[in-house]
Structure 1
Amino acid sequence: MEADTTGGVRRRGLAWRYLGWVALPLLVGLGLARFAGPGVQAQVARTHAALDADWAAHLSTPLGLFLLQLLVLLLVAKGTGWLFRRLGQPGVIGEMAAGLMMGPLVLGALLPQLHGALFPPASLSSLGLLSQLGVLMFLLVAGAELDLGGLRGRRRFAVVVSHAGIAVPFLLGVLLALWLYDAHAPGDIGFTGFALFVGVSLSITAFPVLLRILADRGMSGTPLGQTAIACAALGDATAWCLLALIVAAAQAQGWVPATINLVCVVAFVALMLGVVRPWFSRRTIAPGLEGRWLLIMLLMALGCALVTEILGIHALFGAFAAGVAVSGNATLRHTVATRVEPFAVTLLLPLFFAMTGLRMRADALQASDLLLCLVVIAVATLGKLIGTWSAARSAGMGNHEAWRLGALMNTRGLMELIVLNLGYELGFLGDRLFAVLVIMALVTTAMTGPLLSAMDRRWR
C-alpha cells in the first residue's frame, strides 16, 4: 500500500514538471508568435482571407493530387471488391470493374466536372508509371507461381489440352479479325499484325485468377482442380511466349529485323529456362537470408524487364520470365508470394485497373457495339470451351469433367487486361475494339462460377 502511494506521488510530481517545463513554454511562445509584433490585425486578416485558397493550392500540387487519386481509387476498388465477394465473385473482378467505373466511360459521363478535377490529363503520367511498376511486380509473382515441376504425371495431358485451348480460340480470333479489320483496325496496322493480336487476345487464360476461383470453390485439391492448374500454367507460359514472338515480329520493319528480333526472343527464353532457372532451383536459402534473395530477385526482374524492353517485346515479358526463373525454388517462390504479392495486389494493381478505365474515351462504346460485344464474348467463350473439351475428351477425360475444365479455362481476368493494354499501347487496337475486348475480359471471368454451377445442376 505504501509503495502504491509513493508511486502515485511520484507520477503527480512528473506531471507538474512536464506542465511547467514543456507545456508552459510552448503556450507562451505560441501566444507571442500569435499576438505580438507590428501589423498583427492586418496579418490575421490576410491569413483568414487566404485560408481557403491555401487549401485548394495544396490540394492541386502534384503530390497532393496524387495522394487524393490514390486514396479515392483504393477506396472504390476495395469497396467494389468487397461487394463482389459478397455476391459470390472473386474480389479482383470487382476491382477491375471499379477501374472502368472511374474512367470517362462511367464517371466522366455521369460527373464530368468531378472526373476532370480528379483526373486531369497532366496528372496521368505518374499514375501510369506506378501502375506499370505494379504490373511488373504482379507478373513476377505470376511467373513464380508457375511451378512447372508440378506438371509431373500430367505433362502430356496438360500440353495437349492447354495448347488446344489456345489454338482453337486463336483460329476463331483470326477469323473474327477478317470481319473486324476494316472498321476497327488502326490505320497504320496491317492485317497480319492485327489478326495475330486479336487471335492471342481470345486465347489467354488468367492463371492467378483461376487459382483464386479454385480456392474459393474448394476445388484446389481435387483432381479436376489440379488438372486445371497444370493446363492453365502451361497455357499461360505458352501464350506469353507466342505473344512475345508476335510483338517482336510486328514491331520490326522488314523481314531481317523481324528475324533478328525472333532469334533474340528465343535466345532470351532459352537462357532463362535452360540456365537461370536450374541455377535458382539448386540454391539452398538459409533461414534469415530471404530478404537478401528478395533483393536479388527484384533486381533480376527489373534487369530482365529492361532487356526485353530493349529487344522490342515490352518490359512485361522480362518480369514474367524472371518469375518463371525462380519458380523452381520453393523457398524463393514462397518469399515472392508473401512479400511482393500483397504489396502489388493491394496497392499497385488498382492503379492499373484505373488506368485501363482512364484510357477509354467517353465515346469509345456506341449503341451499335452491343452486337459486337455479344459476338466477341460468344466467340471467345466457344473457342475456349470447344478447344478444351474436345482435347480433354480425346485424351480420355469424362464428358462432364471436360466441360467443367473448359469453363475454368475460359477465365481471362487480369492477364487479359494486361495483354489488351499492351496491344493498345503498341497500336494494334483502336478505341472501340479495346473497350469491347475489356468488357469481354470482365464478362468471361465473371461467368466462370455461374457456368460451373449451371453445368453441375444440369448433370445432377
Structure 2
Amino acid sequence: MHAMSPTEIFLLAMLLIFSAPYAVWRLGRTDYWAPLVVVQIIGGILLGPGVLGALFPGYYAFVFSPQTIGSLNGIAWWSVMMFVWIAGIELDLGEAWRQRRETTVTASCALLVPLVTGSLAALLMLRFPGWRGPQGATWQVVLGIGMACAVTALPILILLMEKLEILRQPLGQRVLRYASLDDVAIWGVLAIILLDWERVGRQAGFFIGFTIATLLIRRLMPRIPERDRWYVSLVWLAACGFAGDWAGLHFMVGAFLSGVVLDARWFDQERMDQFRHTILLAVMPVYFLSTGLKTQWDVGGTTVFAGAALLLVASVTGKLAGIGLAGRILGWKKGDALTIGWLLQTKALIMIIFVNILLDKQIITNETFTALLLMALASTMLTVPMVAPRLRRAERIGQR
C-alpha cells in the first residue's frame, strides 16, 4: 500500500477544508441564517479533536498531523492579516477623526455595557462549580467572560457587511470605526487579565515605534509607483503584524493598524476589490477551518447549553443596550441604533481566539469555553437575519 507523503496529506486536508463546508452551504442553502464563513467555522470544529478526533482518533491524527496543522496555521495567519489590512485601508481615517466624538462615545458604550452584562452573567455562573479554571482568580474569570461578551469580530463583521452590500456605504464605515476601536481594546484587556505587565510596557513601545514608522511610510508611499506600493505595503504589513504580536496586541491588531494609516487613494480601487475577493476565495477558508481545528471542548450536558443561552442573552442585550444608549446621547435617527447594534454583536473568530487563550492559561474550564463558543456561533448566525430586513425596510422608506 502506498504511504502518503506529507504533501499528499496536506492536500487531503485542503480538499476537506474547501469541499465539505461548501457542499453543506450550497446544498443546504444555509446562506441566509448561516453564511459560508459560519459553516466553515462549524466545519473546523466538527473536523477538530473534539468531534472527529474523538470519534475517529486514528483518522484525525493521520490527516491533521502536527506538521499539517503547522502548515495550515501559516496560511491562515497570513490570509487573515491581508484581509484585515485591506479593511484598514478602506477605513477613512480622516472621517474617523472628524467624527471622533461620535466614534469614541459609540465605541465606549458598545464595549462597556455588554462588558457589564457579561460580567454579571459570569458572576451568576460562578455560583455553581465547573466554570472557573484551576489557575483563574474570580476577577480574571469575570473580566474574561465579560470581555468575550463585549467583543466584536472584525473580520467576520467585514464579511457580513460586504454580503449585505454596506461595507463602503456611510453606515458600513461608521460600524467599521466603532468595531476597530473595540478590537484594539480587547488585547489590552487580555494583557491585564494575564497580569503580563511586561507586555503592557511593550505595547507602549509598540505605539511609539509605530507612530514614527507611520510618518516614514506615509512619506514614502506617494513617491513610488502604484505597482511598487503593493509590494512595499506587504512588507509593511508583515513588519506591523510581527511588532503587534511581539507587543502582546495580537498580529491582527498590527495588521489592521498597518492598513489604517495608508490612504485608499494610493491604490487602484478595482485592483483592491479583486485582491480582496481572491483572498476570500483562495486562502481565508483555511483560516476559518484552522480556527475550528484548534478548539478543545467537551459538551457537559444541559448545564453548558444553559450557560451558553445566558451568555447569548447577556451579550446581545448588552450590545443593543449600549448602542441604544449611544444613539440617545448622539441623537441618531430612529432605527440606526438597532441596525448598528445587531451588526456589532457579531462574534465568532476574535472571541474564539480570546477564549482559547484563557483556556490555555487554565483561567476558564472546557465547559466555559464550550458555552462561549456556542454563544459566539449563535450570535454570528443572528446577524444577517436581523439586519437584512431592516436594511430593506430603510431602503423602501428612502425610495418613497
TM-score, reference length from structure 1: 0.73
DSSP-derived class of the 2:130 partner: helix
In the alignment, does 2:191 pair up with 1:248?
yes
Q: Deviations over 1:256-295 (max 9, x none)?
A: xx1x5324313422543x44445444555478x4443233
Aligned partner of 2:304 in structure 1 is 369
Aligned partner of 2:337 in structure 1 is 402
Q: Deviations over 1:33-68 (max 9, x none)?
A: xxxxxxxxxxxxxxxxxxxx1x2x1x2x22211111
In the alignment, does 2:32 pair up with 1:88?
yes
In the alignment, does 2:135 pair up with 1:197?
no
Using CA pairs under 8 Å that are at least 6 residues apart, name the structure with larger relative contact order, 1 or 2: 2
Question: Structure 2 CA distance, aligned partners of 1:361 and 1:209?
Answer: 21
Aligned partner of 2:116 in structure 1 is 171
Question: Structure 2 CA distance, aligned partners of 1:280 and 1:85?
Answer: 45
Shift in Å, 1:164: 0.5
Asked if the contact 1:95–1:350 (Cα under 8 Å) also holds between the matched residues in 2, the reply is: yes
Aligned partner of 2:346 in structure 1 is 411
Question: Structure 2 CA distance, aligned partners of 1:291 and 1:85?
Answer: 40
Q: Deviations over 1:203-257 (max 9, x none)?
A: 2223443344344445457xxx624531x3233332233223223334456xxxx
Q: 1:379 aligns with which of 303, 314, 318?
A: 314
Gaps of 5+ in 2: none
Shift in Å, 1:129: 3.7
Question: Structure 2 CA distance, aligned partners of 1:141 and 1:70?
Answer: 25
In the alignment, does 2:23 pair up with 1:76?
no
Question: Structure 2 CA distance, aligned partners of 1:84 and 1:155?
Answer: 43
Q: 2:230 aligns with which of 284, 294, 306?
A: 294
In the alignment, does 2:252 pair up with 1:316?
yes
In the alignment, does 2:156 pair up with 1:209?
yes
Q: 2:75 aligns with which of 124, 130, 135?
A: 130
> Quick one: structure 1 residues 330 and 177, their matched pair in 2 at CA, closer, same or farther if it must change by over 3 Å?
farther
> Quick one: structure 1 residues 106 and 242, their matched pair in 2 at CA, closer, same or farther if it must change by over 3 Å?
same
TM-score, reference length from structure 2: 0.82
Aligned partner of 1:349 in structure 2 is 284
Shift in Å, 1:168: 0.3
Identity of aligned residues (%): 23
Aligned partner of 1:6 in structure 2 is none
DSSP-derived class of the 1:202 partner: helix
Shift in Å, 1:380: 0.6
Question: Structure 2 CA distance, aligned partners of 1:339 and 1:218?
Answer: 16
Kindly report which structure 2 residues correspond to 1:259-338, keeping only aligned pairs within 5 A, or say none: 261-272=199-210, 274-282=211-219, 285=222, 289-326=225-262, 328-332=263-267, 334=269, 337-338=272-273
Q: Which moved more, 1:200-209 or 1:374-383?
A: 200-209
Q: Deviations over 1:109-134 (max 9, x none)?
A: 66555444433456433333433333
Question: Structure 1 CA distance, aligned partners of 2:268 and 2:116?
Answer: 35
Kindly report which structure 2 residues correspond to 1:224-243, keeping only aligned pairs within 5 A, or say none: 226-230=170-174, 232-243=175-186
Q: Which has the larger radius of gyration?
A: 1
DSSP-derived class of the 1:183 partner: coil
DSSP-derived class of the 1:360 partner: coil
Aligned partner of 1:440 in structure 2 is 375
Asked if the contact 1:146–1:324 (Cα under 8 Å) also holds between the matched residues in 2, the reply is: yes
Q: Name the Cα RMSD after superposition.
A: 3.5
DSSP-derived class of the 2:283 partner: helix
Kindly report which structure 2 residues correspond to 1:35-74, keeping only aligned pairs within 5 A, or say none: 53=1, 55=2, 57=3, 59=4, 61-74=5-18
Question: Structure 1 CA distance, aligned partners of 2:362 and 2:265?
Answer: 39
Instruction: Count how many residue pairs are aligned between Structure 1 and Structure 2.
Output: 392
Shift in Å, 1:200: 2.2
